[in-house]
């Protein structure tokens, strides 16, 4: 050894061993601490990636492109008494390529390519204008309509020239046209209002969430009307009235088990009992709401029981001592005090029910339902099942709309959970 | 129709309350009454409202089967001879025409002429049943009213009676939970029994070939279909194992860190963030798996495969370069992410339940924090943590949307996480969302699978909850 004085000089080997062991122990301690940090970091990273990827995929769906084209309303091709019958898309496409200076071939392929950039909504817009004001025939009027989903995907940069032309749905020529139309100011980006004001459609540029939002709302209303009163009632009975006997014990075990039954089993129950046995209407908010209510029931019961338990016995004893009956004690004193907790539990379980999908698929909420529903016994869509349906759709534009639908669903859930948290904060009480 | 009746019912009930209250005030004037006037009112409300409501509910539950019976019984011969499936469709169209809507199908000659008459008949039957129900409810309300209004007197113990009713209703609410379980068991067992009468239970539980699609056409060669569920059990197990491999360590370490190391501030930030992860609907995880994780992992494995091709691991490289989006790994990993908050919050509870004296004892002996966690806390909390993990396993087995969207449909008997596999829940969804025939083994198989799923998760839950509870009581 050199005399560069190692710190252990003069220290016995035993102390050296001990110090080394201590260092190793502290190192293990630090490592362990870092494992914990890493685990939390990974979990939070997952959360960020999950939400980030959905926002990245979905935010583009909140704006859309419309095109405003001057259209010569050709009286020779548009029947005044039946404007819906006219082939407006063809008329507009032919006029538009002429305006862009393109010579069409005998088969009309250029006009067809232009037509592919326009949405069928154009036809309804133009027909509506003629029906309202027949004097427009023979004039040139501007008509505004959405672009087709393919054109939209190009303008949003999701279809690029980097992909070989034969592998994408928008040709180089169509891209050039779109660029020209955009440069001339005919194509305009705006907030995608259709997403919030329309029902489902087979064409992505016309598909909206309103039908599914209304369907979900109707279903949730049925769920809340059934699950909350029944759940609270059951919890009150179990906590305040029930005798300690075998029946009560069975009910209690049963509720705990129900809370952990997989959701798809509730779907099977709904299919067998409500649809095949009671013949309630398939895919209706009535059946969906009933199934979700049965699913939410155990959660509400458990939450209500714990908030009833939190009310101190002295309140009950005081009321009973003043001569109140058991029922008067419960409904006049205990339940009002437990109400914030009950509401919190109810809101959280409703938020869960809102996001539940698997049982809805089994009771038939997987088919295409255009428009917006009005009644609780007609087939509807729901937000989660719409997400599932759109995710399976082949059109690329549905992908961004799926992500947008998820963002809307998550927004509802965040609002509900925030309401629950606020409620808890606002009425938190310590005895 | 039903809304008008309900509105009438509400109006009658309010009237009964007001009437009962007034009557109690008048008859009890000057004397000392046992109950307060409002309680007499409530008593009257119950006797008017409940029988009428019961009648309305009975009418709406039974009117559908009665209507079906009557439509069947009075149908013309040509319709009665139709096969059941077509006959149902015919009656459905008749109902539609009866309501003034248009028929859904175009019916050929003999039926097309009968349709309007049947429509009128359907309309008559429904109208009769509706009015019958309404009138029955009205009679019930009047009878109840007569009964109660003759009995209102100062010495009527109205309060006790009303409270008896309330207790009964509350008990009925609790009974709903039991009825739900019975409903689940009844519907699953009933249809499963029909399935097992067509497919032997031993073939279902131990058969290794699953291809229910063949059974659609009865005249086809090999029409019996194959209902060996072992590949589904294997797929479910594989995905569950992957999910637990992700969720258990991350969840456990997070719980340990949160309960033993982190300060109040970190905890206040991290816990809600993990709760967000728990509140995200599973369909969102499915979307994430199918469109983000799946493609990303495919690109990764394909790139790895391309690197290996030509080298000593050429075979593996060729295999990896052909991996597809849908694989067990994607569904399992994303399901693991979903389960992290579940595992961590349960374990957190259990670690917190370990008494401080154990920790203090360990520190007093000179142990570091991590040694205390590893040598004292984890052994003490082990049964509880095992219970929590079992609950997570049960969730993983029952989870549907993630696997439906990300795991694939091919029933393969494999333990390779890069293959597409299928699970019990995926098959239930697939069997019941396509074109369904009633009573075919293909449709009923879903209930057989559902029963298996229910039994397995129930056993896991019971065992897990027993463990968790038994453990918790130990230190209380």
Query: Are A399 and B163 an interchain contact pair (Cβ–Cβ within 8 Å)?
Result: no
Q: Given B256, B279, B453, which is nearest A36 (Cβ)?
A: B256
Residues B409 and B452 in one domain: yes
**Distance from B17 to chain A by nearest Cα, in Å?**
19
Alpha helices in A59-142 (DSSP H): 88-99, 109-115, 121-132
Q: Per the domain annotation, does B185 fall within a domain? A: yes
Residues B310 and B175 in one domain: no
Q: What confidence tier does B1 reach under pLDDT thresholds 50, 70, 90? A: low
Q: Which residues of chain B make contact with A53, given a CB cutoff of 8 A?
A: 288, 292
A372 CB neighbour count, 10 Å cutoff: 18
- What residues make up the domain containing B179? 165-198
* Alpha-carbon separation of residue A241 from A305, A330, B31 (angstroms): 12, 9, 33
**Distance from B171 to chain A by nearest Cα, in Å?**
6
Residues B191 and B292 in one domain: no
Query: Are B184 and A266 an interchain contact pair (Cβ–Cβ within 8 Å)?
Result: yes
Contacts with A122 (C-beta within 8 Å, 6 or more apart), sequence order: A88, A89, A92, A143, A145, A146
Q: Which residues of chain A make contact with B405, given a CB cutoff of 8 A?
A: 388, 391
**Distance from B459 to chain A by nearest Cα, in Å?**
10
Residue from B66, B164, B177 to probe the interface with A (highest A Cβ count within 10 Å): B177
Which residue of B lies nearest to A46 if distances are taken between CA atoms? B337
Query: How big, in percent rounded to 5, are the helix, strand and coil portions of chain A?
Result: 65, 5, 25
B64 CB neighbour count, 10 Å cutoff: 14
Phi, then psi, of B260 in degrees rounded to 5: -110, -35
Q: What is the per-residue pLDDT across B11-59, written as a single tens digit (0 to 9) for each?
A: 989 999 999 999 888 888 878 888 888 889 999 999 999 999 999 888 8
Which residue of B lies nearest to A390 if distances are taken between CA atoms? B287
Half-sphere exposure of A28 (CA within 13 A, CB side): 13
Q: What confidence tier does B476 reach under pLDDT thresholds 50, 70, 90? A: very low
Nearest to B199 by CA among B27, B441, B474: B441
The span from the CA of B320 to the CA of A221, in Å, is 49
Record the tokens describing residue A255, joined without a space: 């509720």
Q: Given A26, A37, A263, which is nearest B400 (Cβ)?
A: A263
Q: What is the per-residue pLDDT across B264-287, written as a single tens digit (0 to 9) for each?
A: 898 888 988 888 888 899 999 999
Q: Per the domain annotation, does B370 fall within a domain? A: yes
Q: Which residues of chain B make contact with A50, given a CB cutoff of 8 A?
A: 277, 280, 284-285, 288, 337
Contacts with A148 (C-beta within 8 Å, 6 or more apart), sequence order: A116, A117, A118, A119, A203, A205
Residues B244 and B378 in one domain: yes
Q: Per the domain annotation, does B303 fall within a domain? A: yes
How many CB pairs lie under 8 A apart between chains A and B?
A: 260
The span from the CA of B121 to the CA of B99, in Å, is 11
Record the tokens describing residue A343, joined without a space: 């509401």
Query: Are B450 and A264 an interchain contact pair (Cβ–Cβ within 8 Å)?
Result: yes
Using CB atoms within 10 Å of the CB of residue B83, give its burial: 0 to 12 exposed, 13 to 18 middle, 19+ buried.
Answer: exposed
Residues B214 and B137 in one domain: no
Structural domains of chain A ordered from first start: 60-191 (no CATH), 209-427 (1.10.3720.10)
Residues B189 and B253 in one domain: no
Q: Per the domain annotation, does B205 fall within a domain? A: no
The span from the CA of B209 to the CA of B231, in Å, is 7
Residues B93 and B228 in one domain: no
Q: Which residues of chain A make contact with B362, given a CB cutoff of 8 A?
A: none
Which residue of B lies nearest to A251 if distances are taken between CA atoms? B178
Q: What's B350's domain CATH number?
A: 1.10.3720.10
H-run or E-run covering B41: helix B37-73
What single-letter DSSP state applies at residue A371? B
Contacts with B385 (C-beta within 8 Å, 6 or more apart), sequence order: B252, B347, B350, B378
Q: Per the domain annotation, does B204 fall within a domain? A: no
Contacts with A412 (C-beta within 8 Å, 6 or more apart), sequence order: A351, A354, A383
Nearest to A189 by CA among A284, A64, A287, A375: A64
The span from the CA of B95 to the CA of B122, in Å, is 6
Q: State how many domains chain B has.
A: 3
Q: Which residues of chain A make contact with B436, given a CB cutoff of 8 A?
A: none
Q: Per the domain annotation, does B362 fall within a domain? A: yes
**Distance from B457 to chain A by nearest Cα, in Å?**
7
* Alpha-carbon separation of residue B302 from B287, B291, B416 (angstroms): 22, 17, 16
Crossing angle for the helix pair B264-279 and A13-58, nearest 10 degrees?
40
Looking at the DSSP bridge assignments, the partners of residue A188 are: A66
Query: Are B178 and A251 an interchain contact pair (Cβ–Cβ within 8 Å)?
Result: yes
Contacts with B95 (C-beta within 8 Å, 6 or more apart), sequence order: B119, B122, B126
The span from the CA of B140 to the CA of A244, in Å, is 37
Query: Are B284 and A409 an interchain contact pair (Cβ–Cβ within 8 Å)?
Result: yes
Using CB atoms within 10 Å of the CB of residue A244, give its burial: 0 to 12 exposed, 13 to 18 middle, 19+ buried.
Answer: exposed
pLDDT tens per residue across all 431 residues of chain A: 455 545 556 789 999 999 999 999 999 999 999 999 999 999 999 999 999 999 999 999 999 998 888 888 888 888 877 877 888 888 888 888 888 888 888 888 888 888 888 888 888 888 888 888 888 888 888 888 888 888 888 888 888 888 888 888 888 888 988 888 888 888 888 899 888 988 888 888 888 899 999 999 999 999 999 999 999 999 999 999 998 888 888 888 899 889 989 999 999 999 999 988 888 888 889 999 999 999 999 999 999 999 999 999 999 999 999 999 999 999 999 999 999 889 999 999 999 999 999 999 999 888 788 878 777 778 888 999 999 999 988 888 898 999 999 999 999 999 998 898 888 888 877 66
**Distance from A255 to chain B by nearest Cα, in Å?**
6
Which residue of B lies nearest to A406 if distances are taken between CA atoms? B284
Residues B329 and B460 in one domain: yes
H-run or E-run covering B40: helix B37-73
**What pLDDT was estimated at residue B309?**
86
Residues B178 and B299 in one domain: no
**Distance from A29 to chain B by nearest Cα, in Å?**
5
Residues B369 and B395 in one domain: yes
Average pLDDT, chain B: 87
Query: Are B184 and A402 an interchain contact pair (Cβ–Cβ within 8 Å)?
Result: no
Residues B302 and B447 in one domain: yes
pTM metric for this prediction = 0.88
Q: Which residues of chain B make contact with A54, given a CB cutoff of 8 A?
A: 284, 287-288
Residues B186 and B141 in one domain: no
């Amino acid at each position: 050894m050199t005399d560069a004085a190692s710190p252990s000089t003069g220290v016995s080997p035993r102390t050296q061993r001990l110090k080394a062991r201590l260092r190793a122990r502290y190192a293990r301690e630090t490592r362990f601490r870092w494992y914990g940090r890493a685990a939390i970091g990974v979990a939070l990273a997952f959360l960020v990636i999950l939400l980030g990827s959905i926002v990245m995929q979905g935010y583009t769906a909140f704006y859309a492109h419309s095109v405003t084209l001057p259209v010569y309303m050709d009286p020779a091709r548009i029947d005044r008494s039946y404007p819906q019958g006219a082939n407006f898309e063809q008329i507009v496409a032919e006029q538009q390529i002429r305006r862009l200076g393109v010579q069409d071939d005998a088969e009309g392929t250029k006009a067809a390519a232009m037509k592919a950039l326009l949405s069928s909504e154009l036809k309804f817009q133009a027909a509506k204008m003629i029906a309202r004001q027949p004097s427009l025939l023979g004039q040139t009027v501007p008509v505004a309509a959405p672009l087709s989903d393919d054109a939209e995907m190009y303008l949003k940069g999701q279809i690029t020239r980097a992909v070989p032309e034969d592998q994408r749905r928008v040709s180089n020529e169509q891209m050039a046209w779109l660029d020209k139309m955009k440069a001339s100011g005919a194509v305009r980006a705006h907030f995608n209002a259709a997403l919030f004001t329309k029902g489902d459609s087979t064409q992505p540029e016309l598909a909206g969430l309103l039908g599914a939002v209304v369907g979900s709302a109707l279903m949730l209303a049925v769920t809340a009307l059934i699950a909350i009163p029944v759940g609270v009632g059951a919890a009150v009975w179990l906590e305040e009235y029930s005798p300690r006997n075998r029946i009560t014990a069975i009910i209690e075990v049963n509720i705990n088990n129900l809370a952990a039954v997989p959701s798809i089993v509730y779907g099977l129950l709904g299919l067998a009992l409500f649809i095949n046995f009671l013949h309630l209407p398939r895919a209706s908010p009535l059946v969906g709401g009933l199934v979700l209510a049965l699913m939410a029931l155990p959660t509400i019961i458990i939450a209500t029981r714990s908030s009833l338990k939190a009310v101190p016995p002295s309140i009950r004893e005081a009321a009973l001592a003043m001569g109140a009956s058991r029922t008067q004690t419960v409904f006049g004193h205990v339940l009002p005090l437990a109400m914030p907790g009950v509401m919190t539990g109810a809101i959280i379980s409703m938020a869960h029910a809102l996001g539940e999908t698997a049982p809805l698929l089994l009771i038939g909420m997987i088919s295409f339902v255009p428009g917006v529903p009005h009644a609780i016994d007609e087939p509807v869509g729901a937000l989660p099942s719409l997400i599932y349906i759109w995710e399976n759709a082949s059109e690329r534009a549905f992908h961004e709309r799926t992500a947008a639908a998820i963002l809307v669903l998550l927004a509802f859930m965040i609002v509900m959970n925030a309401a629950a948290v606020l409620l808890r904060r606002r009425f938190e009480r310590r005895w | 129709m039903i809304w008008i009746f309900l509105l009438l019912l509400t109006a009658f009930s309010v009237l009964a309350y007001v009437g009962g209250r007034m009557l109690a005030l008048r008859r009890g004037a000057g004397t000392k009454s046992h109950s307060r006037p409002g309680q007499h009112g409530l008593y009257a409300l119950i006797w008017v409202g409940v029988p009428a409501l019961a009648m309305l509910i009975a009418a709406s539950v039974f009117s559908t089967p009665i209507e079906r019976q009557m439509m069947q019984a009075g149908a013309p011969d040509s319709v009665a001879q139709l096969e059941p499936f077509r006959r149902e469709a015919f009656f459905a169209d008749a109902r539609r025409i009866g309501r003034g809507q248009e028929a859904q199908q175009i019916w050929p000659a003999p039926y097309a002429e009968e349709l309007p008459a049947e429509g009128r008949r359907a309309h008559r039957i429904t109208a009769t049943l509706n009015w019958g129900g309404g009138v029955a409810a009205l009679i019930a309300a009047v009878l109840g009213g007569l009964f109660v209004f003759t009995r209102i007197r100062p010495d009527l113990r109205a309060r006790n009676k009303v409270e008896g009713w309330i207790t009964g209703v509350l008990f009925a609410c609790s009974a709903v939970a039991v009825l739900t379980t019975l409903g689940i068991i009844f519907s699953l067992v009933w249809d499963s029994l029909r399935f097992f009468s067509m497919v032997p239970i031993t073939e279902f539980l131990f058969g290794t070939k699953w291809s229910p699609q063949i059974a659609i056409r009865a005249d086809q060669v090999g029409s019996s279909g194959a209902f060996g569920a072992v590949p589904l059990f294997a797929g479910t197990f594989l995905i569950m194992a992957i999910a637990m491999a992700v969720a258990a360590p991350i969840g456990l370490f997070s719980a340990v860190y949160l309960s033993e190391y982190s300060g109040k501030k970190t905890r206040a930030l991290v816990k809600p963030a993990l709760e967000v992860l728990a509140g995200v609907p599973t369909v969102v995880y499915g979307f994430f798996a199918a469109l983000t994780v799946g493609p990303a992992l495919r690109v990764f494995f394909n790139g790895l495969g391309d690197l290996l091709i030509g080298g000593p691991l050429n075979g593996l490289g060729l295999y990896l370069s052909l991996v597809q989006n849908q694989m067990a790994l994607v569904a399992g990993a994303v399901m693991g992410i979903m389960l992290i908050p579940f595992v961590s919050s349960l374990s957190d509870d259990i670690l917190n339940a370990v008494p401080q004296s154990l920790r203090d004892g360990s520190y007093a002996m000179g142990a570091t924090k991590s040694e205390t966690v590893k040598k004292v806390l984890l052994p003490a909390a082990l049964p509880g943590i095992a219970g929590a993990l079992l609950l997570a396993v049960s969730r993983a087995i029952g989870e549907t949307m993630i696997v439906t969207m990300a795991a694939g449909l091919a029933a393969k008997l494999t333990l390779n996480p890069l293959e597409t596999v299928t699970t019990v829940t995926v098959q239930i969804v697939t069997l019941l969302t396509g074109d369904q025939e009633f009573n075919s083994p293909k449709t009923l198989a879903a209930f057989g699978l559902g029963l298996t799923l229910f039994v397995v998760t129930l056993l896991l839950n019971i065992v897990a909850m027993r463990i968790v509870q038994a453990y918790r009581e130990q230190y209380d």
